Amino acid sequence: MSIVKLNNRGIKDVTALGSITGLGNLTFIKKLTASSSGTLSFVDGASSVVLDNTYKEYLFTFNNIHPASNSSLGFKASINGGSAYGIATTTSAVMAEQGEGSDDSFLGYRTSQDHAEDTGLIKIGESYGTDNDQSGSGFMHLFNPSSTTFVKNFIAQNHSCHPSDYTDHAFVGGYINTTSAVNAIQFAMTTGNIDAGDICLYGIK
Amino acid sequence: MALVKYNNNSISAVTSAAAMTSGDMTLIKSVTASSDSTINFVHGTSDVVLDSTYPIYIFKFINIHPETDSTEFSVGFRDGSTAYDATKSTNAFVAVHDEADSEAALNNRSSNEGLSQNTGFQNLNLNMGNGNDESLSGEMFLFNPSSTTFVKHFMSTTQYYQDGNASLNYRVGGYCNVTAAIDAVQFKMNSGDIDAGTIKLYGIKDS
């Protein structure tokens, strides 16, 4: 067989090579930007969202979530493509806090932020303030949402500006207690709209 | 048309392909310490990107080894001047377990290593050891540093070998309480040089 030599010029129009790996294992899927939004929803199969067995792990990132009212960020899950949200979920919540005036130092379990088989909004951050420069940022890992065998574990870490001007570092873990596939996630504040901010969804290979 | 077959030998010299993506977590810069007093990531310098190109940046710390025993690895942020003195408010806690199995605890460190409207550097750990096999590894998220509207949140997790022969998992959360853009980040030891180790900067795409 004759040898054909390739150079950059010859391969410049290539857009895919089937067996190449190592091009990065974090894949951007969807970005939703809040604008006085009551909810932000990621529904598998809608608006280019993928939330199925394509990935075993999904990552949501929250960037400068700014509430209309002093409130917490939370989510609800759906097993029917977003027709209804609210699957029983159990969580634990640990908070670390420190005030801008060296006050309000706290580390511990926060019973006001956890949930026990709750079908309402599941809190994943502490209180977010509404001052113009206040917001919350962080991330949430959702593992294997398409499983029909296991509950759906998730781990969230968010940092926010409390309305009373202290730093709030929230560590929340839990599971969506269903063996049905979860195929949609909806985010909202516990009170009022998401005034501004971005939520992005990624798949992790 | 005749079928042309390629093999790995023929394709091994290719160094770029126009339209192939590189994944959505992009390595921006890797810096390896060699008895350095500071390691800086300055937007626009030495190929560093730290602006609105990415909404989230991640620093990875790999085997950070201090020259001096019982010191801290710390971070400062630049918000418009040449100094790394952005005002910060933070919280901190640590999980500790020593090799002798005599201490196992979760400790609130906010009153000690936490900052309250302070321009000083933020400790990302406490009392790390400098033995030959001792080091620190971890990561720090920095959210939307180019925002001129919001404070700049950051969250770090470090795991390291403490000078008292213990495993410490140290968490810091906080924000640069400024609305000016953060355009550079500096890491240093509170005492002595960063003897060795690597710090990598990644950007996470949102489109």
What residues in B contact A15, CB-CB < 8 Å? 17-20
B24 touches chain A (CB under 8 A): yes
CA distance B137 to B168: 11
- Is the CB of A31 less than 8 angstroms away from the CB of B90? no
- Is the CB of B90 less than 8 angstroms away from the CB of A98? yes
Number of H helices, E strands in chain B: 1, 12
What was the pLDDT predicted at A192? 98
What residues in B contact A134, CB-CB < 8 Å? 150-151
Q: What is the pTM for the complete model shown?
A: 0.89
B8 touches chain A (CB under 8 A): no
- Is the CB of B116 less than 8 angstroms away from the CB of A99? yes
- 207 residues of chain B, pLDDT tens digit each: 565 555 555 555 555 555 455 579 999 999 999 999 999 999 999 999 999 999 999 999 999 999 999 999 999 999 999 999 999 999 999 999 999 999 999 999 998 889 999 999 999 999 999 999 999 999 999 999 999 999 999 999 999 999 999 999 999 999 999 999 999 999 999 999 999 999 999 999 999
CA distance A139 to A152: 16
CA B197-B201-B204 angle, to 5 degrees, is 150
Tell which residue, B146, B142, B138, B148, has the closest CA to residue B204.
Answer: B142
Cβ atoms of B76 and B182 within 8 Å: the answer is no
Q: % helix / strand / coil in chain B, to the nearest 5?
A: 0, 50, 50
CATH 3.10.20 correct for A24-204: no
**Contacting A residues, span 24-83, partner chain B, CB-CB under 8 Å:** 24-28, 31, 61, 63-64, 66
- Is the CB of A14 less than 8 angstroms away from the CB of B93? no
- Helical ranges in chain A per DSSP H: 8-11
- Is the CB of A4 less than 8 angstroms away from the CB of B4? yes
CA distance A167 to A157: 13
DSSP B157: E
Which amino acid makes up residue A93? Answer: A
- pLDDT, tens digit (0-9, with 9 covering 90-100), for A70-102: 999 999 999 999 999 999 999 999 999 999 997
Tell which residue, A191, A168, A181, has the closest CA to residue A97.
Answer: A168
Q: Which of B9, B149, B207 sits opposite A28 (nearest CB)?
A: B207
pLDDT, average across residues A143-151: 96
Q: Which two tokens stand for residue B171?
A: 């968490």
Cβ atoms of B185 and B39 within 8 Å: the answer is no
Cβ atoms of A70 and A191 within 8 Å: the answer is yes
Enter the ipTM.
Answer: 0.85
